[in-house]
Chain A
Amino acid sequence: MKKLRAFFCAVVILGLLQALLVPKYTGNVREGNLIREYYDNAGGNDVIFIGDCEVYENFSPITLWQEYGIPSYIRGSPQQTVWQSYYLLEETLRYETPKVVVFNVFALKYDTVESTGDQSRREAYNRITLDGMRWSGSKWGAIQASLTQEERQWGGALTYVFPILRYHDRWSELTWKDVRYLFKRETVSDCGYLMQTGVEPMTDPFPSPPLTKRTLGDNSWRYLDKMVQLCRDKGVQLVLVKSPGLYPAWWPEWDQQVADYARERELLYINMIPAQEEIGIDWSTDTYDAGLHLNVSGAEKAASWFGRILRDQCGLPDRRSDPQVCARWEEKTARYEARKGLLLEQGDS
């Protein structure tokens, strides 16, 4: 009995330590909380966005609600790869069945784990996307598909089961925030949208590396196929989108391949880059990082433009007549406006 109690104590201490050591993403990389915030908002969404920073920074779901009465959520995370998108979609479809899933195609250019960049950065992005997922077969699959070579060597999936194995040496960097957010994190997003209020106008275009690989890779296509299949099985319409942005380059060669793919499978594919003028994006005011991503004013314009397509071409209904849904979204809208006010105020001072 005494032994059992001591053992129990030890396990509790280890658990607390692990919770303490895991990064809380409260600094300038708030993205680490995006994936985990979904579970409180699961259900009742007509649209789910899936993809990388080009979705969670470039579309504002609140605008979609305000202008079209479309309830939506963004399951985006930084440098999300196609295989991660697939497993996130699989997981999401277990929580709810939206009418439309919007997938941002930019990540198709990354064909393998190695091609996404150097190991340590890849590993950090893996953590940001995967650590936030709740345990399920989808998480396991996502982990297996995402592990870098170095991660495999050091215990791989095991370090996702016991994150303390990964963050064990963070004790020297702990701050009071690690205690404050030990059990409950701060909510950083609005329905998966990570608000940026800064303005850094685009000046010179970024020099772009040449196109060395004209065809998007087999592995990417394979996972996109799986997403298409998944949506078919669940009766969900899959829409492919390339969100606005000037850099990194979305080559016409790639665009053509996606367009062909979409035509063959009767999918809607919207490349928003040529429509930037129509959308009204002004690269001197609507970007916070000189043309890579949109700030809140740009994201609202993009959502406003895209919402019309969702309404007209996908036939999504206006839910503003449903008082229950309305109440929920009014709350969200209020939080969004409050956040916007606060951030703009901080930015001004």
Chain B
Amino acid sequence: MILQSPWFILFAAGLLVVYYLVPGKHQWKVLLAGSVCAYFQVEGARVGFLLTTFLTTLVCGRKIEQARERGERAGGWLAACLGLNLALLLGCKGSLLLPLGISYYTLQALGYVIDVYRGTEKAEKDPGKLALFLCYFPQLIQGPVSRASQLRAPLTEPHAYDGKQVSFGLQRMLWGYFKKLVIADRVAPAVEILTRDQAGGGSFALLAVLYALRIYGDFTGGIDIVLGLSQAFGIGLPENFRQPFFSGSVAEYWRRWHMSLGAWMREYVFFPVSVSKPVRRLGKAARRRLGAFGKRLPVYIATILTWLATGLWHGLTLNFLLWGMLNCLLILIGEELAPLFRGLKGKRWYTGCSILGTWLIMDLIRVCDLFPDPRDYFRGLKSLLTGPWGQIPDLGLSSLDWGILALGCVVMTGVSLVQSRWGSVRELLWKRETLRFWILFALLLAVLLLGCYGVGYEASNFIYNQF
């Protein structure tokens, strides 16, 4: 099941109706049943993966808590659970067969077990509730990675029907579909062509920009759909983006883009590593010998490890490793250089320049995703300096397509600006009923007519073209 399939929408709509018809204490069971059905429908026999993670999480969580209560050590259970699930995740990533949502639910499961080990979360007694926490269907598809403390309670609490919340949720879904279907899927073929036929600096630069557009539309749009649907269920998931393209530095970008993954990595990789005994000891030793730089050594080690993990989480190939390391490098450089620019903070031109610069740098790094062989990527980077700049392959986009894309970008930027200045657009429109209705209708029409979806969409030579 993909987010843009009409069946997904129909399924979600049906579930929503049932959800608000059953008594509050049973609502979570509706979600569980829906999620399990959806997962079976998509994965069939491969439910074994999710089942494995679910069983280990369930058993280890309980065992760890029992051990804690008796004052025994529970490290063995924790290690077994982490080891097995990480091995499963890495194994699947390595063999490129990815059961739906494995990247997301594995992180959630690990976070939960670690929290139980630390004593900050209670172990779940009800297997159903834990299963729902892992396989809650909207977020299996594109995330976000929720923390147990954020998701467990809202998932299982009763939610009375709240018209405004449901309406807000549906509005957000529509907006997500716009970004995904009208923008991201429209550029997707062009990105593919540019990746395949690299024709020098000009096309590489265009690729970087278009890929940024595609991934922004696809990812933030997908998350809007997921969060919107959850909001309609009365479940508030943590935000995953905060206008990331308005960031002034790479570090800031990563605090505003895919925030839930960043938070997970900070919580379970960065902090534990940086305060762990060996690293601390190393830091002390380094400080004695190297002074100020040595003081930052723990941070450096933790950052590198975090980015290594982040890179590998995206994919077990060289290019993702490179991508992770590039991000890491840029963050550390930014950190080192930050004091130099402290005086310029708050100046308008500086803010503008740093936002633009960050955006360009992030575009160029992100392209790394597309080239499994890093040499191709470096060749592209080099061609940015050497050219040629004029040769751009035919992207199969008509002038109408470019117009739609440009307009879409203006609308998305406008919405982001309004959000960062005045907050929720939906809240602003809530009181103006007529205006809201027609804006939403226009948005619906845009998605319906301009969206790139459906059968034969890419078939440029499709029989209907003859009519």
Q: Which residues of A contact B (CB under 8 A)?
A: 2-3, 6, 10, 13-14, 17, 23, 25-29, 120-121, 123-124, 148, 150-151, 153-156, 158-159, 164-166, 168-173
Contact = CB atoms under 8 A, between A and B. Distances in A.
B451 interface: yes
Contact of A165 (B6, B433, B437, B456): B6
B158 to A, nearest CB: 29
Given A6-B437, A169-B457, A124 B448 contact: no
A154 B6 contact: yes
A169 B462 CA distance: 12
A148 B448 CA distance: 22
B467 A25 contact: yes
Given A3-B433, A166-B454, A29 B459 contact: no
B433 A124 contact: no
A159 B467 contact: no
Interface of B: 5-7, 10, 398, 400, 433-434, 437-438, 441, 445, 448-457, 459, 462-467
A121 B10 contact: no
10 contacts: A10-B441, A13-B441, A27-B466, A29-B463, A120-B459, A151-B455, A154-B6, A154-B453, A168-B448, A168-B451
A23 B7 contact: no
B6 A155 contact: yes
Contact of B5 (A27, A155, A171): A155
B466 A168 contact: no
Contacts of A154: 5-6, 453-455
Contacts of A165: 6, 448, 454
B211 to A, nearest CB: 23
Given A6-B437, A154-B6, A158-B6, A171 B449 contact: yes
Contacts of A169: 449-450, 452, 454, 457
A59 B400 CA distance: 46
A295 to B, nearest CB: 21
A23 B464 contact: yes
B5 A153 contact: yes
Contact of A158 (B10, B449, B453): B10
A161 B153 CA distance: 40
Contact of A28 (B10, B452, B466): B466
Given A17-B449, A166-B455, 18 more contacts: A10-B441, A14-B448, A23-B464, A26-B467, A120-B456, A120-B462, A124-B463, A150-B455, A155-B7, A155-B454, A159-B454, A159-B455, A168-B448, A169-B449, A169-B450, A169-B452, A169-B454, A173-B465
Contacts of B456: 120, 123, 150
A310 B455 CA distance: 43
Looking at A2, A6, A29, A168, the one whose CB has the most chain B CB atoms below 10 A away is A168
Contacts of B6: 154-155, 158-159, 165
Looking at B450, B451, B456, the one whose CB has the most chain A CB atoms below 10 A away is B456
A156 B5 CA distance: 10
B441 to A, nearest CB: 5
A170 B399 CA distance: 16
Contacts of A2: 433-434
Contacts of B465: 173
Contact of B464 (A10, A26, A159, A170): A170
Looking at B438, B455, B457, B466, the one whose CB has the most chain A CB atoms below 10 A away is B455
A236 to B, nearest CB: 34
A174 B454 CA distance: 19
B204 to A, nearest CB: 30
Contacts of B467: 23, 25-29, 173
B408 to A, nearest CB: 16
Contacts of A171: 449
A29 B453 contact: no
Contacts of B5: 153-155
B434 A6 contact: yes
A310 B398 CA distance: 56
A29 B466 contact: yes
B402 to A, nearest CB: 13
B5 to A, nearest CB: 6
Contacts of B451: 168
Contacts of B462: 120, 124
B75 to A, nearest CB: 46
Contacts of A159: 6, 454-455
A183 to B, nearest CB: 19
A195 B400 CA distance: 39
B445 to A, nearest CB: 8
The 4 closest A-B pairs by CB, nearest first: A155-B6, A124-B463, A27-B467, A154-B455
A164 B448 CA distance: 8
B185 to A, nearest CB: 11
Contacts of A6: 434, 437-438
A26 B456 CA distance: 21
A120 B463 contact: yes
A45 B402 CA distance: 54
Contact of B400 (A10, A13, A172): A172
A120 B451 CA distance: 20
A230 to B, nearest CB: 31
Looking at A153, A159, A164, the one whose CB has the most chain B CB atoms below 10 A away is A153
Contacts of A3: 433, 437
A123 B455 contact: yes
Contacts of B398: 172
A124 B454 contact: no
A125 to B, nearest CB: 8
Looking at A17, A151, A169, A170, the one whose CB has the most chain B CB atoms below 10 A away is A169
Contacts of A26: 467
A28 B463 CA distance: 11
A171 B451 CA distance: 12
A168 B400 CA distance: 15
B443 to A, nearest CB: 12
Nearest to A126: B455
Contacts of B463: 29, 120-121, 124
Contacts of B450: 169
A10 B456 CA distance: 27
A155 B300 CA distance: 50
Nearest to A6: B437
A124 B464 contact: yes
